[in-house]
Amino acid sequence: MSTDYKIYCRHGILLFFMVFKFVFLLIPLGVLTWIFYEYQYIFSPEFSNYILLPTLLITVNYLIVQIILNIIDFYGRIMLVSHESIILSHTSLILIDDIEFLNIKSVLKVDVEKHWLLASILNYGHLILEQRNDIRRVHYLWDPYRIYQMIKTHIPAQVMTNTEN
């Protein structure tokens, strides 16, 4: 068994989008909180204490938990490529724990998809691994053509060793 392997993870632009979404949703909550405290004399104390304040607190807590789970999910998706196999790992704390082992001999075709100009500029794309019965898509990989070349160099080597035996 060979110990020569490469680890690939998702593109950093996804992490940027997650943080941007968090900040984008946190700004309106900050404005609503400011309006709540600036004009609190307009609202009745029951409405303020039992509806507005809990709603704001629950929403902020939800956003914080959501960004933490998204960051854990971002770092939990890993693709490991070796000479014999491809391992796709998707773990996110306690919610998901999926590990797929693909034998490199069972991969019939490898494709790369890059859509739009941003994917070409930032060098990310999707890797498609076709097997006999199944198609595996690995989304938002950094430099998918490098992974494509690595997998393609191992597929003919495995096929040639099988035909020689």
What's the confidence (pLDDT) of residue 126? Answer: 93
Query: What span, in angstroms and rounded, lies between the C-alpha atoms of 142 and 126?
Result: 9
What value does the CA radius of gyration of the chain take, rounded to a whole number of Å?
23
Give mean pLDDT, residues 134-152: 88
What's the confidence (pLDDT) of residue 9? Answer: 87
CATH 2.30.29.30 for the 76-164 domain, yes or no: yes
pTM: 0.74
Residue 165 binned pLDDT confidence (cut-offs 50, 70, 90): very low
Lowest mean pLDDT among 51-60, 76-85, 92-101, 153-162: 153-162
With a pLDDT cut of 90, the percent of the chain lying above it is 22
Q: Is 5 helix (H, G, I), strand (E, B) or coil?
A: strand
Average pLDDT over all residues of the chain: 84
Ordered by start, the domain boundaries in the chain are 13-73, 76-164
Report the relative pairing of strands 96-103 and 77-82 from DSSP bridges. unpaired
With a pLDDT cut of 70, the percent of the chain lying above it is 92
What's the confidence (pLDDT) of residue 108? Answer: 85
Whether 164 shows a pLDDT value over 50: the answer reads no
Residue 87, both tokens: 């391992």
Residue 91 binned pLDDT confidence (cut-offs 50, 70, 90): confident
Whether 97 shows a pLDDT value over 70: the answer reads yes
Residue 118, both tokens: 């941003």
Report the interhelical angle of 12-38 vs 53-75 (nearest 10°).
Answer: 170
